[in-house]
Structure 1
């Protein structure tokens, strides 16, 4: 499992859950119910810290006992301040600076990303960078009005568009063919500046309105459009016309030289310090300058060759998983098949001129986060996947080109990042927001000296129980180390291989074609706070931004917590290069769970994350009546924030994929029934075995009376995705899966 997480608190009396502020964590924490898995990245310990610390002083020459003096506990004050106000910059005592790059290298990073087409945005460049000249931007079209290419003020804050013209699309289903929305136009791009105009919480935009613009602009309101009048302001999807590109796009990009020249680097300020206004990390040296960067990537419009898979910008979805494969990654993969343009409706070989197929890479950490895999780990992983009814269907040859199981090896992955390989062994690997989780010294030694032939494993008796956890099986046994490891893994995977990382508690809700076309890096907003949540992360392969992030994290003890990453980019004025998208796009319920926008909520109205699994009876008619089309329509995905131990479908807690996968279903049915019987006996106080033998009722025909009357959102979505694989219905775009 890998995700962002939070802690539960209070429950409303009317069946809805009200988010209440908690001071039990170093991050802003909001409520759910006692059954939620919503907790921050690591379990809290704040309640263990007293408000005051007692110090005994002895006065020389006096026979009296020591004098007791009380001081406020800075650690408790730290937790209280951050839960009340978030992690705010400006408190030097609590949040020391993290910056290790000089201004001229920050300028070089901006120029590299701009020249590579990784900033297709009209947003201003921070003046604090002190760019001397207006840089060229091949991902933006030229401005309609011609003006000077020099900075209008003291320093440049704009970029000069040298790219192709943008044609904004009016996407609708054609008459008599409106049962399903059309697939996105190959090579189309989502203008995220326009999305920000309609969705930015900082500008008091509502999630409900944002989702309407997203679905109308993408044609997802097929056959149900009720809006009338011109909708030009809601058009946010465009294609580029390469014929209109200027000669500036290719200049300097085909040569083995960087496009930034010394003439673009700002000379020292009047006070003789080129880094005035920057605050360096205490006790750290500046990174060697100039920063060593490869030649920029030649920018190619997505519409130029939509069928060709771009090696520099591969369409790979990464997920990270620890522990036994369960219904959580199972549903994530099903939603991927149901929504993405994988070509499963095409019989035979996939056409060479078809759209570039996205791939799903599930990275599996086979043991605890702080363990070393044995030499047979890959073989053992596939053996376990084959025998696991939730995983085995995806080993079918039909999925071999789009679904890949990958073995995660921490040592191999860290050594594969040039910015880390020579120094990571001297850092703490489990650092989250400044809280370091230590592992036994003998385990760390075995991890840092691992070779392919290593076979030694620490004995269970010598390793702390926290280190031994593999996945979260309950709220009280939350696997903190795997979550912290995943904070780092997402940056490594995107930097090494390219693509987009998503937490495993994510469900795809629409095709991501238009997001692949946007070449810039992005994550999304941490609810009401202007911080990142990296539950969705797009980071370009071997980018200058990635190099900055790894070198900065290395100098800050390998801290990849999203709050800390937010501090890295803010202090370096690089936030624009890692765009912070509204959480409505990927996490539409988050603001509601924190008591925002209750007066105009989106559909569905989930006031706590666990209501996805336990929909209140007052609202439980909606899932069956509305189905997939009524679940945050317009959003790209949904993040249900953990609840790893809660089944999607309690009444049918097994993969229901039809006769082709009946053997796995039979095994899962037997295990589910044994588990249910065990829980029932336990509730009745009867002693029972851990597992029950299979009975003759394994093949009994299901009856509707055995099902639950009220079906939750999680159950309905699972059953819809499964019916697509069984061949009983098409996917969300009207395409049948052909075997």
Structure 2
């Protein structure tokens, strides 16, 4: 006889309680009525060794749910077998992924590193050294904070920043081991200048005061695109603060907030370095002995940390008023440009704009000394052959012979310009050997030097050839004949949009960092036109580039770096471990991963590239003057805007900006109807050759001597490129002064 609680098969019925009710208790009933369906995954929280109260959240398959499903579909024995097969499959899949992505030749899978993989190869200790070296050398005249991720325990002394009136957080109130983000200014005070044209010299803007400095913190606050600032408004600030309005100021009211140029007044105070405490490296987690000092840094996969960085002692900051002249031997004023291929009207215009705008003292007699102002120099580096070629032993002699015979280049060999324009020959081997950080290791990458954004163009040199490579292979391994001049590896300059010399562009990406690190100064792309004196930018001793349009990336078409700096050492060692890739986007990754973006300031593109945002459909509701919707508008000004170039002239072209970048367009001609250097009788021989070449190219039926100078032969509406070219040439001919009212003295 069976009890009432027994089933017919002899087992106890667990669904009924001893009191005859279907549930043993109200709690049991609630659980069954309100139970949520089981999830396919379960959460597991794994403690992190050394970090108190911190765990990693891991999602794992819910094996219990899987077991229940298989139990109801199969028997007990079969369900266990199915579960075992599933587990084996998961383990096998994980092993296959590890084999696929875990070798030295492969990168980590994308899910582990969203976006691009890390590039960092320096420890936190080295990053702290770099920040301290740059700040103490006077290369950080900024009040912007140092990233707390750097983990500085003691704020560094800053000789380029005046003392603060009130400290942000006194050290006695700072938690032990907390990272600091400020620097301690102990430099001279700053006197901000009201620069205006004064009678009787009111027709032209005044030259910047020698030794003046641009406060780039103010410029960033008033011009930064990421804070919704307009290029048009930024240019007005730059004009008024720099005195470029020529006394024609229509603004009423106080514009003291727009004064961004200052002089340092007083000595560098003798401050005592604060007592060093144990290094902090995490602003949130309190340090303990078991924590890795590099916690929070993402190291480049499959790469060892760099050996501890060895840096020379920091430089001593010398305010300009303490020097005999504003020529600081530790801060040389070299402009660098890089050129490949025949000398054309593009570097010609760049050099003319340099003569027209910079304080070169060409309006004074050669024998008249200047005890205050410092003349800058422009070094034009010429790569004599294709970017991948090895120069022959006579390359330097051949280069100067070609310059003498080239009508676009020969005027700049005139003795009057010998101290301000210098032609240099680029030799890749020699230049890379001159960089101490990579001279012993770069040859390992010699076949992949042409690396742009991770895209590598392989070049295989013929060991028996001393002047050029024999063959090269593209990504598909197709052999390229060295005699084929139209192929990418043998191109010598860009002749059209379809025959773009990409190899030279990639080489120039690297060359700009090499030149600035070896010699100091500012690099500019050769498609750059100077628009004003750079005196106050020379005064700001930090490193900078400018923003890549709307993106928070660098465009290194303008690059300022200090000679032999700690920042340069970081960039070259990091680039070496990342394939010597110096593409601006990649350099942006280097500095971001290392929290060093503040040491290479990303200036607004309004200062150097005022048309860029408009060409990418930004700020067209309030564009600057002139209004370009594409870069070609500079050469082919749209008909509805074609009255502006002649009516406004040089003074109406992005007034306030330091330079203009027309973004390659090497095949566009500046002055189609007068496509020759029009510099007057002093350079008549070169002009005659250029005229003849132009007529031959146009298949004209008459010779250059038969050309009549009739205004009716000229284009009716002159483009912006033409107006600027003719303005610069008129200065060289002695028909007008430069932009500051100074006449060229021969």
TM-score by length of 1: 0.81
SS at 1:390 equivalent:
coil
Correspondence for 2:639 among 617, 635, 638: 617
Alpha-carbon shift at residue 455 of structure 1 (Å): 5.2
> Any residues of structure 2 matched to 1:574-589 within 5 Å, and which?
574-589=596-611
Name the residue aligned to 1:404: 422
Decide whether the 8 Å contact of 2:688 with 2:704 is kept in 1: no
CA distance in 1, matches of 2:371, 2:734: 26
Deviations 1:154-198 (A, max 9, x none): 210111100000000000011342100000000000000000111
1:425-452 CA distances to partner (integer Å, 9 max, x unpaired)?
A: 112201100100111x234x579xxxxx
SS in 2 for 1:329: helix
CA contact (8 A) 1:207 1:602 kept: yes
Equivalent residues of 1:585, 1:637 under 8 A apart: yes
Contact kept, 8 Å, 2:532 with 2:658, in 1: the verdict is: yes
CA distance in 1, matches of 2:692, 2:483: 34
Deviations 1:76-116 (A, max 9, x none): xxxxxxxxxxxxx9982651110000000000000000000
1:382-393 pair list within 5 angstroms: 382-393=400-411
SS in 2 for 1:664: helix
CA root-mean-square deviation: 2.0
SS in 2 for 1:618: helix
Alignment partner, residue 431 of structure 1? 451
Matched, 1:286 2:293: no
3-state DSSP of counterpart to 2:380: strand
Gap runs ≥5 in structure 2: 1-109, 472-479
Matches within 5 A, 1:613-692: 613-677=635-699
- Give yes or no for the alignment of 1:182 onto 2:206: yes
| Residue of structure 1 in register with 2:88 after alignment | none
CA distance in 1, matches of 2:275, 2:434: 30
Alpha-carbon offset, residue 466 of structure 1: 1.1
2-structure distance, mates of 1:492, 1:91: 34
Q: Contact 2:154 / 2:180 at 8 angstroms: preserved in 1?
A: yes
The answer for the alignment partner of 2:341 in structure 1 is 323
Q: Is the 8 A contact 1:188 1:303 kept in 2?
A: no
* Residues 597-629 of structure 1 deviation map (CA, whole Å, 9 limit, x = unaligned): 111000001110000000001000000000000
For 2:66, the equivalent position in structure 1 comes to none
Q: Is the 8 A contact 1:189 1:515 kept in 2?
A: yes
Q: How does 1:267-306 map to 2 (within 5 A)?
A: 269-270=287-288, 271-289=290-308, 291-305=309-323
SS at match of 1:736: coil
Partner of 1:9: none
Aligned counterparts of 2:170 and 2:539: Cα–Cα separation in 1: 27
Residue 420 of structure 1 and its aligned partner are, at CA, apart by: 1.0
1:303 deviates by 3.2
Deviation of residue 402 (structure 1)? 0.4
| TM-score normalised by length of structure 2 | 0.80
CA, structure 1 residues 523+626, in 2 after alignment: closer, same or farther (shift >3 Å)?
A: same
Per-residue deviation, 1:700: 3.5
SS in 2 for 1:677: coil
Specify the alignment match of 1:720 in structure 2.
Answer: 727
Q: 1:378-427 deviations in whole A, cap 9, x for unaligned? A: 00000000000000000000000000000000000000001111111112
CA contact (8 A) 1:321 1:365 kept: yes
- Determine the C-alpha separation between the residues in 2 that align with 1:562 and 1:446: 35
* Structure 1 residues 166 and 456: CA distance shift in structure 2, 3 A: closer
Give the equivalent residue in structure 2 for 1:67.
Answer: none
Q: Distance in 1 between matches of 2:223 and 2:468?
A: 52
> Which of residues 700, 704, 707 is equivalent to 1:700?
707
- Is 1:235–2:259 an aligned residue pair? yes
Are positions 1:111 and 2:132 aligned together?
A: yes
Aligned to 1:458: 470
**1:597-608 counterparts in 2 under 5 A?**
597-608=619-630
Matching residue within 123, 137, 144 for 2:144: 123
The correspondence of residues 484-503 of structure 1 with structure 2, limited to 5 A, is 484-503=506-525
Q: Does 1:247 align with 2:266?
A: no
Q: 1:554-565 alignment to 2 at 5 Å? A: 554-565=576-587
Gaps of 5+ in 1: 1-88, 252-258, 448-453, 679-691
Structure of greater Rg: 2
From the superposition, tell whether residues 316 and 618 of structure 1 become closer, same or farther in structure 2 (CA, over 3 Å).
same
CA distance in 2, matches of 1:137, 1:455: 50
CA distance in structure 2 between the aligned counterparts of 1:293 and 1:476, rounded to whole angstroms: 46
Deviations 1:579-606 (A, max 9, x none): 0000000000000001111110000011
Q: CA deviation at 1:348?
A: 2.6
Aligned-pair CA distance for 1:310: 1.5
Q: Is the 8 A contact 2:210 2:372 kept in 1?
A: no
Q: Tell me, in whole angstroms, the C-alpha distance in 1 between the residues paired with 2:529 and 2:324.
A: 25
Match of 1:684 in 2: none
Higher normalized contact order (CA 8 Å, seq sep 6+, divided by chain length): 1
Matches of 1:421 and 1:310, distance apart in 2 = 28
Determine the C-alpha separation between the residues in 2 that align with 1:124 and 1:377.
49
> Does the CA-based 8 Å contact 2:235-2:606 persist in structure 1?
yes
User: Partners of 1:306 and 1:115 in 2: how far apart?
Assistant: 23
Give the deviation of 1:326 after TM superposition: 0.2
| Cα displacement (A) at 1:272 | 2.0
Deviation at 1:309, TM superposition (A): 1.8
Alignment of 1:723-734 (within 5 A): 723-734=730-741
Cα deviation per residue 1:508-554 (whole Å; 9 max; x = unaligned)? 00000000000000000000000000000001100000000000000
Q: Hey, what's the Cα distance between the residues in 1 that align with 2:231 and 2:304?
A: 44
Aligned to 1:164: 188
